[in-house]
Chain A
């Protein structure tokens, strides 16, 4: 008799595939943003979907691995931001239990909960974590970090809000049962 370990194979695979999607979205989909020289990070929309479907454990590792791989293929990892990505996946995953996405429940209440969570999560990640780490590691000037983190927070929140909500909404629709449907003339 096998015992169910707390790390299921499915979550191992979800971490890997989530990280791969994060990588592909972050590395190859460059949507120009209103702020010059920045792009919209639509990978956070995808990460938030994985966090809601699979929970915080998958979220934190998919974010960590995905972001590390992106940075490595550019040449050098930016640890403070990598950790921020990981924490974002973690925090959004914490509300998995409150959003019954597997049974197709994603109404107004869930949309609000999801978006409040993701905006707070982005705030914690970019304004608090990334900045504190940048100060500690690189002794960067505080005022530069304020500008940098507020921009990242705002852009990422908008991106996740639009992309994440749209993806979850569509995903929820694929989970509804067909039982009550009737043909129309």
Chain B
């Protein structure tokens, strides 16, 4: 095939779901060439998932709708094709690493699509092993999904679509469920698979800097169902389009802009690795840094929570937490970080009383909590689960927020008053009589936080408050939490999100293999490569930038964070 012959071609393409009032994507004109790597970005609801569904045939064959214009893939008109035919050209890796892991073991999941093709068993085994080797999972063939990490599950899915030798790989938010280190590995693997197999790769992702880790040929930006930009990464980064569309630009670009460095074409701004700064630029950054004064650390406030030498195991054979101690002070905003299975969530469960420690003590304002029941603790410590859909048990907003008060059988008047007060704090008062499903994801998250706040706990523990959220929702949720924090609430967040740590927390507890290995500031953490690795995080581009300019990394990161907070507020 000729390099300049498009493998995918949208012509005046519009897709209108049968159940929707208006088309979801309109007038798409896009050509993608063989061997290209394309990143598609855009805020939630911009139509990027719809576009992906049009490529793999879920639209219109699973979600019916009306098509205008046309879309051809490898010369096939998609509207006249079908999901099964299209799946020979486009292999899709979905965001939900558990949902798409269909087989009982790695072996079965990789073989799944070949089994459906009725390939004889001998060949099945050979090809499955070959594919497992490419993604580095040959030793894990017999493992069940719950024995694998998120990154490993995703690699199984990649192997599972590549067994068919598809020319096009489509990734729908591949980084959303992975920690930063696993996300980096995923992008590196995609890069390798693409180069070895001459594939065309399309990545839909809003974490642009992470997705750009190994570069891309083009970035397509979508908004309101339309393509608003189609250019090389460099052209896009030199423009202001990302900020205008509310998409987070790479941190190093922000840092350069803060230092008033004029970006130009010869600087190769598309990736931190390619960035070449002239001495004058470096001087500008050093000057900017010199002007920044380190803030006085806030005075230490009274202690609200103390954890002392906690040991815990779900089974007697294995300890999940070993000798954990830390102190949380009133008004703290703390991130708890570490790999999946490092013990972060277990720690939260112990604090809430869902599990009981084998050894050690937990103190709430100096008082031992050992005798307190789950409910008694809930009056002081509120726990918010990651997925709001797992917490919401009433269809109406008012009822959901009132639930815990109703369970306490409080008088109706008091319930009403407290619910209304809480709804006002959470900015949901005007929606009080709405059904919850009419709300956006960010608003739903607020409802779940409101349903906890109504019991007036002073400490909030949130599990991955921003996982899978675009920049707008991320900002919405985090600004709300920041407001609560400023009102005096103590906030603990279990998170993988490096931006969250840097932008919103003053302290990070790092867990690794059941131990607390660090209790430090985010800037110290991000200036310590070894610690980052143990926490399954990755270096930020700020670290590299500071190094390139000969600045002290930790101090530079701190200066950047402080300045960034000022600018944003």
**Chain A directly contacts chain B within the complex, with at least one CB pair under 8 Å:** yes
Interface membership of A176, Cβ < 8 A: yes
Tell whether, in the assembled complex, residue B430 and residue A183 are in contact, meaning their CB atoms are under 8 Å apart.
yes
Tell whether, in the assembled complex, residue B434 and residue A173 are in contact, meaning their CB atoms are under 8 Å apart.
no
Interface membership of A136, Cβ < 8 A: no
State how many angstroms separate the Cβ of B85 from the closest Cβ of chain A: 8
Tell whether, in the assembled complex, residue A181 and residue B437 are in contact, meaning their CB atoms are under 8 Å apart.
no
Q: A183-B430, A184-B432, A185-B430 are in contact. Are A174 and B437 (CB under 8 A)?
A: yes
Interface membership of A1, Cβ < 8 A: yes
Set of chain B residues within 8 Å of A178, measured between Cβ atoms: 434-435, 437-438
- Interface residue count on the B side (C-beta < 8 Å): 18
Q: A178-B438, A181-B434, A181-B438 are in contact. Are A1 and B395 (CB under 8 A)?
A: no
Q: A174-B435, A181-B438 are in contact. Are A2 and B430 (CB under 8 A)?
A: no
Interface membership of A170, Cβ < 8 A: yes
Tell whether, in the assembled complex, residue A1 and residue B437 are in contact, meaning their CB atoms are under 8 Å apart.
no
Q: A2-B82, A178-B435 are in contact. Are A173 and B430 (CB under 8 A)?
A: no
State how many angstroms separate the Cβ of A97 from the closest Cβ of chain B: 20
Set of chain B residues within 8 Å of A185, measured between Cβ atoms: 430
9 pairs of residues in contact across A and B, judged by CB atoms under 8 Å: A170-B393, A170-B394, A174-B436, A178-B438, A181-B434, A181-B435, A184-B430, A184-B432, A185-B430
Set of chain A residues within 8 Å of B433, measured between Cβ atoms: 184
Chief secondary structure at chain A's binding surface = loop
State how many angstroms separate the Cβ of A8 from the closest Cβ of chain B: 10
* Contact flags B430-448 to A (C-beta < 8 A → 1, else 0): 1111111110000000000
Interface membership of B242, Cβ < 8 A: no
State how many angstroms separate the Cβ of A65 from the closest Cβ of chain B: 15
Interface membership of B396, Cβ < 8 A: yes
Set of chain A residues within 8 Å of B396, measured between Cβ atoms: 173
Set of chain B residues within 8 Å of A2, measured between Cβ atoms: 61, 82-84
The docked-state distance in angstroms from the alpha carbon of A2 to that of B81 is: 8
Tell whether, in the assembled complex, residue A173 and residue B395 are in contact, meaning their CB atoms are under 8 Å apart.
yes
State how many angstroms separate the Cβ of A107 from the closest Cβ of chain B: 14
Q: Which of A1, A169, A170 contacts B82 (CB 8 A)?
A: A1
Residues of chain B from 394 to 426 with CB closer than 8 A to chain A in the complex: 394-396
State how many angstroms separate the Cβ of A170 from the closest Cβ of chain B: 5
Q: A1-B82, A185-B430 are in contact. Are A170 and B437 (CB under 8 A)?
A: no
Q: Which of A1, A173, A183 contacts B435 (CB 8 A)?
A: A173
The docked-state distance in angstroms from the alpha carbon of A176 to that of B434 is: 11
Residues of chain A from 141 to 158 with CB closer than 8 A to chain B in the complex: none
State how many angstroms separate the Cβ of B519 from the closest Cβ of chain A: 37
Set of chain A residues within 8 Å of B438, measured between Cβ atoms: 178, 181
Set of chain A residues within 8 Å of B431, measured between Cβ atoms: 183
State how many angstroms separate the Cβ of B59 from the closest Cβ of chain A: 15
> Which chain B residue shows the least CB distance to A2?
B82
Tell whether, in the assembled complex, residue A174 and residue B395 are in contact, meaning their CB atoms are under 8 Å apart.
yes
The docked-state distance in angstroms from the alpha carbon of A10 to that of B431 is: 34
The docked-state distance in angstroms from the alpha carbon of A181 to that of B430 is: 11
Set of chain B residues within 8 Å of A1, measured between Cβ atoms: 80, 82
Residues of chain B from 424 to 471 with CB closer than 8 A to chain A in the complex: 430-438
* Contact flags B70-84 to A (C-beta < 8 A → 1, else 0): 000000000010111
State how many angstroms separate the Cβ of B561 from the closest Cβ of chain A: 36
Q: Which 9 A-B pairs have the closest CB atoms?
A: A173-B395, A178-B438, A183-B430, A2-B82, A174-B437, A170-B395, A173-B435, A181-B434, A184-B430
Kindly list 9 other residue pairs between chains A and B, CB separation below 8 angstroms, not including A174-B436, A176-B435: A2-B83, A2-B84, A170-B394, A173-B395, A173-B396, A173-B437, A174-B395, A178-B435, A183-B430
* Contact flags B350-370 to A (C-beta < 8 A → 1, else 0): 000000000000000000000
The docked-state distance in angstroms from the alpha carbon of A174 to that of B400 is: 13
The docked-state distance in angstroms from the alpha carbon of A55 to that of B94 is: 28
Set of chain B residues within 8 Å of A173, measured between Cβ atoms: 395-396, 435, 437
The docked-state distance in angstroms from the alpha carbon of A184 to that of B394 is: 20
The docked-state distance in angstroms from the alpha carbon of A11 to that of B434 is: 31
